[in-house]
Amino acid sequence: MKRILLLEHEKDNPEGYIGTLLEEHQIATDVIRVDQERLPAPDHYSAIIAFGGAQHLYEAENYPYFGPEKALLRASIEREQPVLGICLGAQLVASALGGIVKRHHTSELGFYDIPLNEEGKKDPLYQGLPGYQKVIHWHEDTFDLPAEAILLASNEITTNQAFRYGKRTYGLQYHIELDTPMLDNWLYHCGLQRDIMDKLGVEAYHTFSEQLLVQFTIYQRHTRIVLENFLRISELI
């Protein structure tokens, strides 16, 4: 049976839209809360997706579960198992490959259009996109690109927005898993609304709110394209 391992790091960053899409394609999942559960042997999974979280990798002494998770990711990458890291998950993938994760000089919050570079435009993950991806950001950390990794997307704020390592490992600094309930929870219960107001200004939040419906519609359309491309790369659809 087709089965994907989903690695979650906190209750407020579940699989969201990714879970819905996998169910639509009749792909089974095992969801593991990395901070609470023992990691399974990864070798019988068709792919692995590591999700986001509020933790910081440079505070590893506070999160002893990061060591085993990075070891799992490293082993999976070495045997060319498809791996997708999202936000914190991308930082974990980068760190597992020797990249340094560090505090960014600023935060990225809300919707962004992330331009693809020439490598990104021809990468199978991004086929069907119009030269950029509409994404949601909520992060204050970044990472150095691992040796031999291929940079796929950048913007003027964060150089390393997306990368590929080998043929089937991807790290995306941005979020592609949000559905409407997750976005509502992040905005009104987890502090995203407050962060946008505090760090970008009240006017920026008003603009975000006014454009929310249109932006989110494009975001989900782009998200579906990228996720289904990853499933094709993983030979799951």
User: What are the residue numbers of the active site?
Assistant: 87, 175, 177
**What's the alpha-carbon Rg for the chain, to the nearest Å?**
17
43 by Cβ neighbours in 10 Å (0-12 / 13-18 / 19+) ranks as exposed
Task: Transcribe 203-222 into DSSP letters.
Answer: HHHHHHHHTHHHHHHHHHHH
In 3D space, the residue among 134, 107, 133 whose CA is nearest the CA of residue 204 turns out to be: 107
19 close to 181: Cβ distance less than 8 angstroms: no
75 vs 151: CA distance, rounded Å: 22
